[in-house]
Structure 1
C-alpha cells in the first residue's frame, strides 16, 4: 500500500536556526530521502516553497476568489511530502519517525486511495 508522509514545519524554527544548523538539517532531509530511495520504497517526494508564497483559490457563488498566502493561520505549514510503499501503517509510521521534520514539527501519515 502507498502512504504519504507530509511534513508540517514551524517556519520560525528554521529561520531561527544558525546557518550551520540549518545546513545540517537540510542535509538530514536529503539523507532521509536518499535512504528511502535506496531501500526501494520511495515513490515520489517534493519540497514546497514557504507557505507565504501560496495563493488560495475558492469558488463562491460563481466567483473565483484568490487570497495570497495559506488558507489558514497556522503555526506549522505543509513543507513537503514523500510517497512510500509500505506493507502496513506501522511500517509507514516507522519511516515517518525517521523524518527530520518530526524533530521540530510533525509528519502526518495517510494511506493513499487507488484511483481508477
Structure 2
C-alpha cells in the first residue's frame, strides 16, 4: 500500500543553523532516502521550495482569487514528500519515525487513495 510521508518543519530553524549543521541535516535526509531505496520502499521524493514562494488560489463568489504566499500563516511548513510503498500503516509509521523531521518537527503520514477506489 502506498503512503505519503510529509515532513513538516520550522523553516526559520534551518536558516538559523550553522553551515556545518545544515550540511549534517541534508546528509541525514540523504541517508534516510538511501535507506528507503535499499529497502525497496521509496517510490518518489521531492523537496519543496520555501512556503513564501507559494501561490494560493481560491474561488470565492464564482471568481478566482490569487494570493502570493502560503495559505497557512504558521512557522511550520510542509517541506516535501516521500511516497513509499509498504505492506501496512505500521510499516509506514516506522519509516516516518526514521525521517529526520520527526526529531525536530513532525511527519504526517497519509494513505494514498487509489484512483479505482474513488
Q: TM-score, normalised by structure 2?
A: 0.94
Match of 1:82 in 2: 82
Q: Does 1:109 align with 2:98?
A: no
Match of 1:10 in 2: 10
- What is the aligned residue count? 116
> Residues of 2 paired with 1:112 and 1:38: CA distance?
22
> Residues of 2 paired with 1:46 and 1:17: CA distance?
22
**How far does residue 75 in structure 1 lie from its aligned partner after superposition?**
2.1
> Residues of 1 paired with 2:12 and 2:103: CA distance?
14
Match of 1:66 in 2: 66
Q: TM-score, normalised by structure 1?
A: 0.96
> Residues of 1 paired with 2:72 and 2:82: CA distance?
23
> Residues of 2 paired with 1:66 and 1:8: CA distance?
24
Contact 1:6-1:78 within 8 A present in 2 as well? yes
Consecutive unaligned residues in structure 2, runs of 5 or more: none
Match of 2:36 in 1: 36
Match of 2:24 in 1: 24
Runs (4+) of structure 1 moved beyond 4 Å? Answer: none
Match of 1:95 in 2: 95
Deviation per residue, 1:20-46 (Å, 9 max, x gap): 001110111111111111211011110
> Residues of 2 paired with 1:26 and 1:97: CA distance?
17
**How far does residue 62 in structure 1 lie from its aligned partner after superposition?**
2.0
